[in-house]
């Protein structure tokens, strides 16, 4: 099996989806001839033609709105929104229209629609290029949300999203596009949505992290292991729906919880994870759950983003604090 970067795994998954189903189309700004701003769609237009891989105007609402109409007509569009900070413009189409169509039609109509978007910071991008909006999307019924942290999961989650009957947002961590390599089989397999992955086993503290924060969580776990603290690191992979069984089983074992993510602290997805675990595992908790998150500010300028992002040091400090209570 040849090794591939995360962005290369996405490219291969897109090619496989296009090759397997003639109803699949890929659309977005610069996804055709250029191959995408991060080259995730590189070479796809030359392989599958301009009718199936094509560029759109710079209009996010129109991109998702058009894709919604295409989905209603039987196609399976995969759209690219270049950066998650640009998604504010298309949320009405995604949340109020595509996400609600099945409920509004009593199950008679579904929108098989995938929205791919690059998210997160750490690569010195300008304003509106580093947002993490998973908390907003998780609270939007009818929309599913996935976040890969490895190449095999990036490919598998995308393939599973294409098969879903409801809209799925695939959040792709910018920092990991070319930071992680992993062997990929020639034929890629879907990764079922709603199933978390235990990235590291441990008995003392459960750390839940996703996307680009997973490597920092794993590094923090290795650092405290030298102190005799064994951390279980769980990558949810799917944020909506969450795999509560895996999360609860881990916290029932460890009795301690740390949640780490790039989204802002207040109203962030970590609060939902903590609330859900308290409801399910209150009597198993040995210390208060802790959150390591972005600050409650607009994403800062490039020179300040290291202070904003959750890192290994902050996660390590939260783990130690959980053990001391």
Q: Find, among 79, 81, 77, the residue nearest to 24 by Cα.
A: 77
Q: Find, among 36, 26, 29, 101, the residue nearest to 60 by Cα.
A: 29
Where does the chain have alpha helices with state H?
6-20, 44-48, 60-72, 91, 101-104, 134-138, 151-163, 213-225, 244-254, 269-281, 305-308, 312-324
CA 220 to the chain's CA centroid: 21
Give the Cβ contact number of residue 255 at 10 Å: 17
pLDDT score recorded for residue 305: 87
Residue count of the chain? 325
CATH topology identical between 2-184 and 197-324? yes
For 214-225, how does the pLDDT look when each residue is reduced to its tens digit (9 = 90+)?
A: 999 999 999 999
Q: Find, among 225, 201, 197, the residue nearest to 312 by Cα.
A: 225
Give the Cβ contact number of residue 52 at 10 Å: 18
What is the spatial distance between Cα 94 and Cα 322, in angstroms, rounded to a whole number? 39
Fold of the domain built from segment(s) 2-184: Rossmann fold (3.40.50)
In the numeric block, which tokens belong to residue 127?
Answer: 């304003």
Q: What are phi and psi of 58, to 5 degrees?
A: -80, 80
Domain range summary for the chain, segments of one domain joined by +: 2-184, 197-324
Question: Cα angle at 309 between 304 and 315, to 5 degrees?
Answer: 135
Give the CA diameter of the chain: 60
pTM of the full structure? 0.96
Which residues are marked as active site? 129
Contact, 151 vs 180, CB < 8 A? yes
Fold of the domain built from segment(s) 197-324: Rossmann fold (3.40.50)
Q: Find, among 177, 189, 190, the residue nearest to 42 by Cα.
A: 177
What is the spatial distance between Cα 219 and Cα 104, in angstroms, rounded to a whole number? 46
Asked if residue 125 has pLDDT above 90, the reply is no
For 265-311, how does the pLDDT look when each residue is reduced to its tens digit (9 = 90+)?
A: 999 999 999 999 999 999 999 999 999 999 999 888 887 888 899 99
For 223-275, how does the pLDDT look when each residue is reduced to its tens digit (9 = 90+)?
A: 999 999 999 999 999 999 999 999 999 999 999 999 999 999 999 999 999 99
- At residue 156 the predicted structure's pLDDT band, cuts being 50, 70 and 90, is very high
Q: Find, among 260, 252, 265, the residue nearest to 315 by Cα.
A: 260
What is the spatial distance between Cα 45 and Cα 28, in angstroms, rounded to a whole number? 12
Segment 91-99 shows an average pLDDT of: 96
Asked if residue 1 has pLDDT above 80, the reply is no
Contact, 78 vs 14, CB < 8 A? yes
Q: What are phi and psi of 125, to 5 degrees?
A: -85, 160
pLDDT score recorded for residue 301: 80
For 4-45, how does the pLDDT look when each residue is reduced to its tens digit (9 = 90+)?
A: 999 999 999 999 999 999 999 999 999 999 999 999 999 999
């Amino acid at each position: 099996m040849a090794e591939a970067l995360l962005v290369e795994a996405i490219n291969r998954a897109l090619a496989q989806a296009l090759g397997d189903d003639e109803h699949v189309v890929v659309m977005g700004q610069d996804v055709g001839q250029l191959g995408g701003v991060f080259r995730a769609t590189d070479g796809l237009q030359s392989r599958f033609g301009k009718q199936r891989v094509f560029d759109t105007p710079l209009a996010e609402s129109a991109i998702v709105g058009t894709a919604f109409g295409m989905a209603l007509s039987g196609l399976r569009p995969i759209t690219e929104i270049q950066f998650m900070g640009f998604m504010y413009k298309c949320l009405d189409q995604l949340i109020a229209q595509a996400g609600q169509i099945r409920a509004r039609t009593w199950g008679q109509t579904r929108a098989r629609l995938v929205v791919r978007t690059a998210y997160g910071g750490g690569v010195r991008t300008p304003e509106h290029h580093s947002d993490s909006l998973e908390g907003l999307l998780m609270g939007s019924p009818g929309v599913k949300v996935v976040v890969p942290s490895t190449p095999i999961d990036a490919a598998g989650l995308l393939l599973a999203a294409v098969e879903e009957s409801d809209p799925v947002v695939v959040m792709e961590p910018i920092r990991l596009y070319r930071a992680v390599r992993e062997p990929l089989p020639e034929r890629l397999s879907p990764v079922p949505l709603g199933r978390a992955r235990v990235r590291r086993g441990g008995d003392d503290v459960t750390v839940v992290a996703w996307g680009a924060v997973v490597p920092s969580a794993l590094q923090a776990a290795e650092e405290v292991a030298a102190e005799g603290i064994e951390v279980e690191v769980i990558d949810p992979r799917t944020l909506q729906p969450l795999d509560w069984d895996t999360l609860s089983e881990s916290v029932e074992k460890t009795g301690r919880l740390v949640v780490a993510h790039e989204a802002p602290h207040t109203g962030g997805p970590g609060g939902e994870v903590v609330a859900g675990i308290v409801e399910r595992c209150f009597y198993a908790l040995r210390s208060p759950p802790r959150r390591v998150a972005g600050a409650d500010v607009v994403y800062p300028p490039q020179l300040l983003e290291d202070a904003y992002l959750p890192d290994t040091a902050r996660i390590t400090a939260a783990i130690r604090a959980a053990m001391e209570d």
